[in-house]
Structure 1
Amino acid sequence: MTIQEAAQRSGLSAHTLRYYERIGLIHSVGRNDSGHRDYAEEDLRWLDFLTKLRTTGMPIADMCRYAELRRMGEHTADERRRMLELHRERVRARIAELTQDLKVLDYKIDLYRELA
């Protein structure tokens, strides 16, 4: 599929896809006979995972390290798992912070409702 099709299906811009390729987050995408990028379904699955890492706050540098380890093969599975476990703990901590922040907002909203 073309970069435009991959962008549409992944929800990322073509610019972001080129950037991800340039910094090593995605491997060199295959090319068609005319030399244009030719994304595969596997590329979209990987992009979906990268998007989840990004939206949960993983730094780009950590994402690049994870991608590098992935390319190195199965012998890096333990290190990749540890990276994801550490990230999961950061996500859980952020969720706990947001939950507390939400309680404060709810409290304030309830106060304003009582004044009305």
Structure 2
Amino acid sequence: MTSGQPLPRGRGTTLTIAQVAERTGLTHDTLRYYERAGLIERVGRTTGNQRRYEAADLAWLEFLLRLRETGMSIAGMQRFARLRAEGEATVGDRLTMLREHRAALAARMRALRRGAGALDEKIDHYERLLHGRRTRTDDPT
């Protein structure tokens, strides 16, 4: 969530799609897509058929955003959402899925750190070249 603002407390307090879009950084179209794709359950509606999001909807959206940020595919997110909708019987499957995703994320983070280290070395090399401090061991590239 981008705003960090909690949903106001109180019975029946809900947010419009515009308010949720502002809080999450998602577009109206993305929020509608998430609903059509089964990532979020059908959101409550007013008598005029306008979407009204509750605190639980926002908490779930925030978790989906973390999954997306960490590289989980839409298909993976859909699978997780289906398991969640099935209830307590799928807790083990959800835990396994999150552990596997976390392990893949850790491997990706290690690879990114290696890549960042290689970039840092090359940046240092070029900075030394610019400042005329080339040494015999410097990479000629």
Q: Residue 102 of structure 1 corresponds to which residue in structure 2?
A: 116
1:65-98 deviation digits (Å, cap 9, x = unpaired): 1000101101100000000000000100000010
Gaps of 5+ in 2: 1-14, 131-141
Q: Distance between the aligned counterparts of 2:128 and 2:76, measured in 1?
A: 47
Aligned counterpart in structure 2 of residue 62 of structure 1, from 76, 82, 87: 76
Match of 2:41 in 1: 27
After superposition, the C-alpha distances for 1:3-32 in whole angstroms (9 at most, x for unaligned) are: 111111111111110000001000000001
Amino acid of the structure 1 residue aligned with 2:84: R
Matched, 1:39 2:56: no
Runs of 4+ in structure 1 displaced over 2 angstroms? none
1:90 aligned to 2:107? no
The one-letter code of the counterpart of 1:26 is I
Higher helix share: 1
**Percent identity of the aligned residues?**
49
Shift of 1:33: 2.0
Q: Secondary structure of 1:33's partner?
A: coil
Give the total of aligned pairs.
116
How far apart, CA to CA, are the structure 2 residues paired with 1:86 and 1:25?
Answer: 19
**Structure ID, larger Rg:** 2
Q: Aligned to 1:17, what secondary structure does the other structure show?
A: helix
Higher RCO (CA 8 Å, separation ≥ 6 residues): 1
Rounded to whole Å, the distance in 2 between the matches of 1:108 and 1:82 is 39
SS at match of 2:44: coil
Unaligned runs of 5+ in 1: none
Partner of 1:49: 63
**d(CA) in 1 for partners of 2:93, 2:113:** 30
